[in-house]
Structure 1
Amino acid sequence: MSGFKAAKVRIPSTAAHEAAERRQAARALLARPLLTALGQSRELALVHRHHVALTAMFTRMLGYQLVVESGFARLVKAPVGDGGPVRAVQVSRKAVLDGLGLAVLCLACAALLAPGTGGQILISELVEQLRADAVAAGVVLGEDQAGLRRVCAALELLVEWGVLAETDGTVEEWRERDEEALLTVNRAVLPHLLARRLPVDLRQVEELWQQAVPVVVEPRQSLRRRLVENPLARREELSAAEEEVLYRDRGDVVRQLEENFGLGVEVRLEGALAFDLDGALSDVEFPGAGTVRQAALLLIDALINAARPKAGQQAEVGGGLVPSLFCVWATVDEALAELVDRYGRAWAVDFVGDPARLRREVVSLLESVSLARATPQALLLHPAAARYRPQPSAVARAKRAGKPVGESAGYEQEGLL
């Protein structure tokens, strides 16, 4: 056929395509260390396809063990080390499992693993066994709504993880209307929920803390682990060996995290910042919508604008100097009060009417992403916090147009954590 030219289509090489698939699978495992065929079939298929390379990569790069079976894949992580923020078990956008909730989760898993428990169980039977085990273990669940919510939160978490499947009925229907539900148990996954197998001769919980945890001695591996699990690696928290690797071999560190996990890394005098532009790997959403996230972002901006810190500014912490902006609590409270006056119409009433709670949750959020550290005297902002610049958008436009403003109204933000 004359008169037409064939279009030139650039087809990626097989090697590039496979590398992209491995990176996608690795990111899926980092974001969700337990993948099951029930909920993440596509990601699990990628892990199966590249399991040999992925197993070797995770061992070499991070010291993590990858367990791959026909119906699931489990990335067994190891402790990050000192200095990293503690991650709570998130059960919803606004709720986390408290200590008693974690105990309920363990009791539920124990009941599902007990001899005689089959592949399916009624939710009423499971809860009855769970409550009986709680009494035997001295765990006070309570018969009130708080106790019921903890039990349901633990079961819904197991459903989300793929350990339980709601075959007939749901946990929510049982909680709301006391309707029976039939649950299917993925028993093959249960033993792999724990990062370490419990010893068969264990008699007291205290014995667990006496067991030696493998220590990563290779500084390149421990540094990469820090950056993957916590986006901000503070220089003062790095070991001497990790600091040497960061500044001597920064090119290798940047390349390895980008090639294997799709993460960008910036190395500065104060430490290193790993960022994921699409936010898929973030377990803590910041910046983001909602009163606490908006208030935290605006507080950073207000404190920095008021102090106008100079490059290299430091604050004393524990007898040493660390890169930080020292903000006394009176200044923090004053800034938050001004923000409430200015943006309170767009924020949740519960926070607007409770300044202490607002400050507590804002500070907790900033600490969880390592942008701040609370001391009895002050809030210490890390220099990386200066990367964030809020740009009020939806709220301002709604007010100018005379339209009502709700909790969903947000801000456009610049930020890479």
Structure 2
Amino acid sequence: MRAREIPTLALDSYQRAARVALANHLVTPSYPDRIALPLLRRWATELREDLLELFGYRLEVTETTARLFPVLDSLDASQPARTGTDRVFDRRRYAYLALSLAALGRAGNQITLSELADHVAAEAGQVDGVELEADRASDRDAFVDAVGWLAARGAISLADGDAGGWAHNPAAGEALYDIERPVVLALFRPPRAVQHLRSAAGLLAGFEAPAGADDEARGPEDPKEVLRRVRRALVEHPVVYFDDLDPDGRTALAAPRTVAEVELLTGLVSERRAEGVALIDTSGRLSDIRFPGTGTIAQVALLLAGEISDRVVDPDAPALVRHPIGDDSALLALLDDAIPGGGVFDDLAESAVSTTTAAAFESNRREQTYPFIEQSWLVDTVGALVERFGRTFAAQWQADPDGLRARAVDMLHRLRLVHIVSGGVIVLPVIARYRDVMVSIRDRAPQDSLFTGDSTENEATA
């Protein structure tokens, strides 16, 4: 491991480079910031070897891009593409993003937004269920969101005009973009040709056996690959539960060296509990969510985590029903249903994959049940929190407690503190970390006001 050879004074810089590569699978001169690419270029040789050895990840670094090619062991719905305002991409935005990339790959050095929209509209018309009508405001907004995602990563850069003006009125507004071809080419690099797949399971690591093969037919897994799989889980998920892993994986996670090597590479600190292991990121450079954090949603999520923890251990309350989490077969079925049959090359396509077989390859977790909390309890609890602390919340959430609850629960789901299911949430063990949350109300200094009675303003911190 090359990290052991890095001088002590330079180790912090190397660890920052590792966190940047793991957090941003694509790094460009402007994304995520202007110092990221020079940092990766400085440590490219050492990082390339360590990332391959520890995780099986491949790193390609050029003058204009750094591209990390991760290995997927399971489906993960917790990291969708998001707009500049943190709105999750829907199917239409994903379609526009893919079609825009295809159009940019065939374009010259520059392209106008309306010209790109024409190309996408023409291609969308050939796909059932996808269309782009420039006369429809919702289509224009979704298209601009996809273009904005590309611009944020440096695939295109605004040379003139304004995309917002075009979205408001395409007849009057226009935008001209320079196309950064190396970034465009680096963005879409799937591990296998998608035209050869009949199932999304074909993109997962280790899925080499034909449909219907069982675990015995596959034979024992290479111990080195078991270690890599566990290390990948440590950096890809907020917490790794022993119950998520097969017997070999649980043994690897329990070994101190497995976690120590990831700590050395990333500079993170591990927290071990009876249920599993979490890497704590105090730097904020690897995690996509800071928790606890500032803002109404993060504060309510923290308060709700404390309330859920108290409910689980409350001896005076009725016992909670327990349920298993289940596998990703439902998500896999949804993805597979969306694959256009006409886009698969039949002669080169892999055998069809059943969701049962695919789920068996995705995980071999032992059957475990966890407490289930109903949606009605969440509604009542968040309502009580709004009533108690609502004056300190942002105005939009004071008026929308249902939306606030949904966003707070979603944050807890992304952090693997709960698992959202129909009718409520399944409570996962690490949420006990946030029991006995202490809340203080901080009064801001009085400010002059034109109206009486507005001399103080309160803020809640947890």
Residue 230 of structure 2, aligned match among 213, 223, 227: 223
Name the stretch that deviates more: 320-329 or 270-279.
Answer: 320-329
Question: Separation in 2 of the partners of 1:376 and 1:207?
Answer: 28
- TM superposition shift of 1:309: 5.5
Task: Provide closer, same or farther for how the CA distance between residues 302 and 214 of structure 1 changes in structure 2, counting only shifts above 3 A.
Answer: closer
Task: Provide closer, same or farther for how the CA distance between residues 80 and 199 of structure 1 changes in structure 2, counting only shifts above 3 A.
Answer: closer
Deviations 1:122-169 (A, max 9, x none): 222112212222123241234332211111111111111110111223
Show the counterpart of 1:89: 81
Name the stretch that deviates more: 182-191 or 383-392.
Answer: 383-392
Show the counterpart of 1:342: 388
Question: Separation in 2 of the partners of 1:288 and 1:172?
Answer: 31
Question: Separation in 2 of the partners of 1:81 and 1:306?
Answer: 31
Question: Separation in 1 of the partners of 2:387 and 2:200?
Answer: 49
- TM superposition shift of 1:362: 2.4
Show the counterpart of 2:430: 384
Aligned 8 A contact 1:328 1:378 in 2: yes
Residue 120 of structure 1, aligned match among 106, 110, 121: 110
Show the counterpart of 1:32: 24
Task: Provide closer, same or farther for how the CA distance between residues 377 and 21 of structure 1 changes in structure 2, counting only shifts above 3 A.
Answer: same
Residue 56 of structure 1, aligned match among 49, 60, 63: 49
Structure 2 segments unaligned to the other structure (5+ residues)? 208-220, 327-365, 448-453
Show the counterpart of 1:357: 403
Task: Provide closer, same or farther for how the CA distance between residues 378 and 331 of structure 1 changes in structure 2, counting only shifts above 3 A.
Answer: same
Question: Separation in 2 of the partners of 1:52 and 1:375?
Answer: 44
Task: Provide closer, same or farther for how the CA distance between residues 321 and 136 of structure 1 changes in structure 2, counting only shifts above 3 A.
Answer: closer
SS at match of 2:111: strand
Task: Provide closer, same or farther for how the CA distance between residues 195 and 226 of structure 1 changes in structure 2, counting only shifts above 3 A.
Answer: farther
Aligned 8 A contact 2:84 2:148 in 1: no
Structure 1 segments unaligned to the other structure (5+ residues)? 1-12, 413-417
Question: Separation in 1 of the partners of 2:367 and 2:193?
Answer: 44
- TM superposition shift of 1:87: 1.2
TM-score (norm 1): 0.82
Question: Separation in 2 of the partners of 1:153 and 1:285?
Answer: 24
Task: Provide closer, same or farther for how the CA distance between residues 167 and 375 of structure 1 changes in structure 2, counting only shifts above 3 A.
Answer: closer
Deviations 1:36-94 (A, max 9, x none): 12444422122222212111111111111111111111111121426x55311122343
SS at match of 2:177: strand
Show the counterpart of 2:461: 411
**Superposition pairs of residues 119-198 of structure 1, within 5 angstroms:** 119-138=109-128, 139-142=130-133, 143-176=135-168, 178-196=172-190
Show the counterpart of 1:303: 308
Task: Provide closer, same or farther for how the CA distance between residues 323 and 164 of structure 1 changes in structure 2, counting only shifts above 3 A.
Answer: same
Name the stretch that deviates more: 225-234 or 189-198.
Answer: 189-198
Aligned 8 A contact 2:93 2:143 in 1: yes
**Superposition pairs of residues 259-278 of structure 1, within 5 angstroms:** 259-278=264-283
Task: Provide closer, same or farther for how the CA distance between residues 146 and 36 of structure 1 changes in structure 2, counting only shifts above 3 A.
Answer: same
Question: Separation in 2 of the partners of 1:330 and 1:174?
Answer: 44
- TM superposition shift of 1:404: 5.5
SS at match of 2:81: coil
- TM superposition shift of 1:107: 0.8
Task: Provide closer, same or farther for how the CA distance between residues 383 and 210 of structure 1 changes in structure 2, counting only shifts above 3 A.
Answer: closer
SS at match of 2:157: strand
2:13 equivalent to 1:21: yes
What is the root-mean-square deviation of aligned Cα atoms in Å?
A: 3.1
Deviations 1:237-289 (A, max 9, x none): 11211101111x1x213321221111111121111111101322221343223
Deviations 1:284-316 (A, max 9, x none): 343223333222211121233345459xx9963
Task: Provide closer, same or farther for how the CA distance between residues 236 and 144 of structure 1 changes in structure 2, counting only shifts above 3 A.
Answer: same
- TM superposition shift of 1:214: 3.5
Aligned 8 A contact 2:446 2:457 in 1: no
SS at match of 2:125: helix
Task: Provide closer, same or farther for how the CA distance between residues 404 and 380 of structure 1 changes in structure 2, counting only shifts above 3 A.
Answer: farther
Q: Percentage identity across aligned positions?
A: 26
Question: Separation in 1 of the partners of 2:6 and 2:72?
Answer: 36
Task: Provide closer, same or farther for how the CA distance between residues 56 and 257 of structure 1 changes in structure 2, counting only shifts above 3 A.
Answer: same
Aligned 8 A contact 1:328 1:379 in 2: yes
SS at match of 1:335: helix
Which residue identity lines up with residue 215 of structure 1 in the other structure?
A: G
Q: Relative CO higher for 1 or 2, CA cutoff 8 Å, sep ≥ 6? A: 2
Deviations 1:340-385 (A, max 9, x none): 1112223345544444433333222211110012344653322321
Which residue identity lines up with residue 206 of structure 2 in the other structure?
A: V
Question: Separation in 2 of the partners of 1:176 and 1:207?
Answer: 39
Aligned 8 A contact 1:232 1:370 in 2: yes
Show the counterpart of 2:94: 102
